[in-house]
Structure formats: structure tokens, C-alpha cells
Structure 1
Amino acid sequence: MTPPPDAALPDAVLFDMDGTLFDSEKLWDVGLDELAHHLGGELSPAARTTMIGAPLAMSMEILHADLGRPDLDVATSGAWLEDYMRTLFTTSLVWRAGAQEVLKAVRAAGIPAALVTATRRNLVEVALDTLGRENFDAVVCGDEVTHSKPHPEPYLRAASLLGVNPEACVAIEDSVNGTASAEAAGCPVLVVPSEAPVPSGPRRVHRESLVGVGLPELAAVLTAVAS
């Protein structure tokens, strides 16, 4: 998709983290499987798919229901998982193909960027050692909003922190929950699915990969949504 020569660039680019910038949903697979075993059960593929892009508390509720143990404490399970994931985030984060190049292009052009993630701040701080704190003008984490994804609040907050109109931004997402959050906030969304398909929608442009995505392709998302 190529925009016309005079196509406007986005006022900001809002990046999801897990599954979008990092191929980290596979790390969450490991952590969630280990937690399920720790709790004496096994996580089903259907329940795992539902968790993609969801906040921690929601994921723990899904896990407990899947194990037939709704009596378990969400906070206790969440703390166990975060402790396990901290090591994986320190040693095993891998950029998703093309993601680092997109981020570099956005920063080189002076376009404001935000990280908008359902992951909680303590793990995001670990991830920022790899992402580069200097690459983001704002960071919105799952435990810093009243309503996390799929609610629009995270993307609305990111746009507000950057002082831009969400409709003039491009959000980059990989999941159903994250895409719904960005779309509900009014953002055009570049959808690059990772672990599960994401349905089409009026404010969504789909690509199989971020490889080859640069400023013209980001401008094309705005053009496609506006047309």
C-alpha cells in the first residue's frame, strides 16, 4: 500500500509491546504454562488465546476458570507469574521482525511515539532496557489506567500525554484486545497479528509483518482509514 506523495504523516505513533515490538507472547506462553502447572493444572489453548493482549488480572481470572479453580486469588497468581516473567524479560526478549526498524524510522523523523501496553510497569521497566527509554515520549502501562485493554482508556491517555488527536495517530497492534482498544479510542490501527487472527474492521489496516513498514506505509494507514 503506497500513499499519494502529499499524504500526511501521523501526528504520533502508538506502539503496543507484547507481540508487536517484541515476539514475547511466546514467553508469556511459557510463563502461563508454568503457572498452570504450579497450580496443579494445564492451560487450554482456547483460554490462552483469550488472554492475548488482556490485562494481568483478567488473564488470571481466565486461567483460574480454565483450571476449574475460580476460588484462587488473582493477586497471588499474578505476583507468581510476574516474578517468573521478570527473568524471561531480562534474558529472552526478541524483537519482532521489522519492529526495530519502524521504531527507528519514527524517531528519526521526529514523530512522537508512545508505548501502550497491558503489561504492568514493573515488567515494562525491564523491557525498556531493550526497547530504549529514549525511544518513547510517553509510556502507558496496564496498572496505570483504571480500565486496561480492550477499553479505549490506554490509547486515549497516550494521545493526551502526547497532546495529539487519537484520530491523527497510528496505533500498531497484534491482538484482538489491543486492536479493539485503539479503535475505540479513535485511532487508525495497523494490525500485524502474532499469535491469533484479528478480524477486519473499518479503522484497521492489516499486514502480515512489520518488515518493509516505514513512514510511507504509516501515512498510508491514515489515508486508507480516511477514504
Structure 2
Amino acid sequence: MLFDMDGTLVDSEKLWGVALDDLAARAGGRLSASARLAMVGTSMPISMALFRDDLGQPDRPYAEDVAWLTDRVADLFADGLEWRPGARELLHAVRAAGVPTALVTSTERRLAELALKTLGAENFDVVVCGDEVARQKPDPEPYLTAAGLLGVPIGECVVIEDSPSGVGSAVAAGAIVLAVPSDVALPPTAGVHVRSSLGGVDVAFLASLRS
């Protein structure tokens, strides 16, 4: 089992939204709703390019903005994260069944470690973060890396994702994909299974996706 984090297991996208709004205000601007939605599930370089374009400030210093944004998100994460519906129950059921499990996130390791205080580091055999791969989602590398570390063929792995970028990464990797949209609507994609939430999803249901 390969789990995305933001918007899939925990409702952290809204905290990223708070931090991005704060960064925009610091820059003397205001982030549009459309730009924010376009950032969901993307890498930091893509998100910051969208941010600069939306504010009309193409020459903003990337490293400085990323450092400030990361510190702000870390402060917000430190207060704990809210689980997405059904996510905690499913994760615990998967672990109880002895299924190898990985967390695959575009978020950098520093912030993922804070999130793991809510998720439980013991619930994952492997954690792959955005700053630990050469190419982030929607490239297949993150999911291929996680499957390799688990020693499980990617075609036998079920990925749970919420964003177009994450779904694209999982599909390109060749995984079985269960999409649970959160903040952004997902376009119909051949072979992708879609649920409105993880409520009611259990180990038996996941096993059925592999048959």
C-alpha cells in the first residue's frame, strides 16, 4: 500500500493555504483561489512558479520564499493535523493485516516528520519525501522508488491519492490507483478507481482492486 499524505491521509492542504496566503500578504499581494487550487499536489518549484505568476512578481527570490513558507507550515503542522474521513481507520487496518506500507509525499522530509507525529511513524515501512527524489509528482519516480524500497512490484501496489498530479504519478508508475478527491476535482482517468472518501474502505476492498 502506497499512501499520499496531504489531502489524502490528513487535511493539511488547508494549512498550506493559510501559509501561502500569509506569504502573499507578506509580498504585498493576494493569492487567487484558482492559483491555489492549481498548486495542490504539485512540487515546490511548480507551486512557487504559480505563486510568482499569480502575484505578478516573476523575480521574487525562490529560496527566501520557500524558507519562509516552510517555516510557516512547520508552525501550523506542529499543532497537529486533522485526519481525512476514514483514513486513520484504513491505515490501522492495513497495518494490522501486515500489508507493507509506504508514505509517498511531495512534502519535504522536515515537514513530513512533523506530520508523522499525527500519522504515526510506526505505520509506515518506508517514507519517500519530495526532497528525496530527483523528479517529483506527476513523474512516476516517487512511487517507483517506494515500491522498490518495499520490494514489491509496482503493478501489485495500490496507491491512494487525492490530486491530479499524484494520480498522474501513480498511473505513470503502473500502480493500481484509488483516487479520493479532496480540494480539487479529478478528471476521469481510465483504470482509476474513484471514491468520495475513505470511509468504508477496508482491506478486503483494496484486495478486490488487485483482482
Q: Same fold (TM over 0.5)?
A: yes
Matched, 1:144 2:120: no
Q: Check the 8 A contact 1:174/1:194 in 2, yes or no.
A: yes
1:126: which partner in 2? 114
SS of the residue corresponding to residue 78 of structure 2 reads: helix
Deviation at 1:170, TM superposition (A): 0.3
Work out the percentage of aligned pairs sharing the same amino acid: 55
What are the Cα deviations for residues 92-125 of structure 1, in whole angstroms up to 9, with x where unaligned? 4100010001100110000000000000001001
Distance in 2 separating the partners of 1:60 and 1:211? 33
Quick check: 1:221 aligned with 2:198?
no
Matched, 1:153 2:141: yes
Q: In the comparison of the two structures, how many residue pairs are matched?
A: 211
Question: Highest relative contact order (Cα 8 Å, sep 6+), 1 or 2?
Answer: 1
TM superposition shift of 1:130: 1.1
CA contact (8 A) 2:80 2:115 kept: no
Q: How far is the alpha carbon of 1:49 from its aligned partner? A: 1.1
CA distance in 1, matches of 2:63, 2:134: 16
Aligned partner letter, 2:97: A
2:69 paired with 1:81: yes
Aligned-partner residue type, residue 184 of structure 1: A
Distance 1:201 1:188 in 2: 12
Aligned counterparts, 1:1-227, within 5 A? 13-223=1-211
Distance in 2 (CA, whole Å) between partners of 1:174 and 1:220 is 20
Amino acid at match of 2:85: A
Distance 1:221 1:46 in 2: 33
| Unaligned segments of structure 1, at least 5 residues | 1-12
Paired residue type of 1:130: T
SS of alignment partner, residue 122 of structure 1: helix
TM-score by length of 2: 0.98
Measure the CA separation in 1 of the matches of 2:151 and 2:80. Answer: 34
C-alpha contact 1:121 1:143 (8 A) present in aligned 2: yes
Structure 2 gaps of 5+ residues are none
The answer to whether the Cα contact below 8 Å between 1:151 and 1:180 also exists between their aligned partners in 2 is yes
CA contact (8 A) 1:112 1:162 kept: yes
User: Matched residue of 2:15: which SS?
Assistant: helix
- 4+ residue runs of structure 1 moved beyond 6 angstroms? none
Q: Matched residues in 1 for 2:164 and 2:171: separation? A: 10
